[in-house]
Amino acid sequence: MSGSITFVGAGPGAPDLITLRGAAALRDADLVIYAGSLVNEELLELAPKARLVNSAKLALPEVLREMREAYEQGGHVVRLHTGDPAIYGAVSEQFRELDRLGIPYSVVPGVSSAFAAAAALKVELTMPGLSQSVILTRDAGRTPVPEKEALDQLAAHGSTMCIFLSVGEMESLVKKLLSAGRSPSTPAAVVYRASWPNEQIVRGTLSDIAQKVADAGIQRQSMIVIGEVLERNGDLSKLYDESFSHGYRRGGRCGAGFSGKVALFALTRKAACKAAEIAAGLHDAVIFVPEKYASAVPAARRRSFPGGGFSAVFADSWKQFDAFVMVMAAGIVVRHAAQLCKDKLHDPAVVVCDEAGQYAISLLSGHFGGANRLAAEVARITGGKAVITTASDVNHLLAFDEFAARCHYRLVSKEPLAELSAARLDGEAFDLFMPQELFQRWFADQPGFRLAGGAPEPGAILIRRVANGTELRLVKRKTALGVGCRKGVPAERIREVVLDVLDTHQLTLDEVDVIASAELKSNEPGLLEFARSAGKELRFFSAGELNQIPVPTPSAAAEQHLGLHSVSEAAALLAAGPDARILVPKQSRSDVTAAVAMEVDHV
């Protein structure tokens, strides 16, 4: 029986920087051929049963012979290269010969010394406004480089440079960089044996780095980094800019995201992988997959079912989730969901996505359930296209039930909705009675709407059709913030955590109607001051009341120390009222927990 051959990147030096997969390959190895002193010998201790061969003195035919013989005898061979094999690893010729011989092999990447050097320097090699490219190269020495890749040619680009295998000729290297137009004040650094115990860092500029390296006695095994990024004074990244949207976050306080509890279903391995990708970008999501594909999704999100069990599990989940993302054929979803539908104001959102993530189709409950918004979220995550077919959205109009869902209002009666929606599509006029800020945000720039007055009563909105006086009444759903905290936590800290949790889930403190906690926290100064400064009612519930409420994420710590299975989630649910649901599951910090519950729609 034939064995296996695995090329493994050993990493830059520190033995704990090898990948988990690389370490596993070493543990199973019968033969390890390693790249001499460039590889930390502590790594060889991970291969207790292996025969060890130092390749430093071997020519290519000898290395190949060792690998081939062990492979043909059924042995597991690890070819251990320093750093990552893809960078100056001299592996291409080995791959080529193994391909010619028809011997299969696999490759495990490793941490390159370029990245270990960046870690040692505590720099980002790409920074907005400074450099968005990194050139990995080496100077010409005994081994020449192509003419177009000469150092002075590459340096002219102005990009960050990571220069391998060249520290022995620093003066010559600096002259080439300067002749390419780099300024003598350009920051430069040399990292000797990055991540090893005797790591050494030399910093300077092109005007003095060569002398500093000479003074330090460094002649080999070093990474040279050149570029303005070493000063870390670039522009702010858009990645965490609150006004910038990307695949995993909507920018700005647009109120257009989906924030409910989502169940993803997949029936194939490829679909399961896509579901895991989508779930990672959603706030609260679990993945249902057949047992045979359970390994394709993270355990923390996994809900597996036996073969043939999809129908029953889907039906059982229908009322337990706010939305479903079905990574499968639309026909399957239609046939199963049709038996469970009630009406547009009560059905969960359903989005269908193909295995490749090219399309996210809003199939059911597009407005009030939020499927249109969820489809847009899924499409951003996968890089696909959201398919929206509701008439108002196709005509770029905000539907009344969509407005209600986004702003957390409920319809007092659903009967006028169809009439008013049709009138809206026909371009009719409406009088609105609502807070000025809501009108300005959602309706001021849309034709046919007039702010006729303020809210008819606190927490209410009235939409009136001018033609015949038909009215649609909306009432704000009660929103409760549950808070748990350690003894003595100051109000400023509670506020910091709460605002962070709310902002992450596209909510504001203004949208919270009441704050709630456990009765044993009723004398906690920080919590009392936080509620007072926020101008919110503060309610406390006894242990008996809290322990009667089922919650999605019980707390073992609260059970052990307080005799409570939940504080923040249970308190939020009680304060929001009967049949409330968790909008934001418990978010735990070291000293504060927060959760948000909302009154359900009773229409």
DSSP conformational letter for 13: S
What's the DSSP call for residue 516?
A: E
Q: What is the pLDDT of residue 250?
A: 47
Q: Kindly report the pTM of this predicted structure.
A: 0.65
| pLDDT, tens digit (0-9, with 9 covering 90-100), for 502-550 | 888 778 898 899 999 999 999 999 999 999 999 999 999 999 999 999 9
Q: Do 155 and 161 form a contact (C-beta atoms < 8 A)?
A: yes
- Please provide the DSSP assignment of 226-292 as one string: ESGGGG---PPPSTT-TT--BTTB--SS---S--S-EEEEESSHHHHHHHHHHHTTSSSEEEEEEGG
Residue 142 reports pLDDT greater than 60? yes
Q: What is the pLDDT of residue 240?
A: 47
d(CA 117, CA 123): 9
Angle, CA 482 vertex, CA 243 and CA 547 arms, to 5°: 145
Say if residues 181 and 156 touch (Cβ distance below 8 Å). yes
- pLDDT for res 235: 65
Average pLDDT estimate for 388-417: 85
Q: How far apart are CA 510 and CA 116, in angstroms?
A: 46
List, for residues 319-370, the tens digit of each pLDDT value.
899 999 999 999 999 999 999 998 877 899 999 999 999 999 999 998 888 8
**Which pLDDT belongs to residue 321?**
92
Cβ neighbours, 10 Å, residue 179: 12
The arithmetic mean of pLDDT across residues 557-570, rounded, is 85
Nearest-10 Cα torsion for 473, 474, 475, 477:
150
> What mean pLDDT comes out for the span 443-471?
92
Q: What is the pLDDT of residue 261?
A: 87
Asked whether the beta carbons of 370 and 390 are under 8 A apart, the reply is: no
Contact 409, 476 (CB under 8 A): yes
Tokens of 92: 């291409």
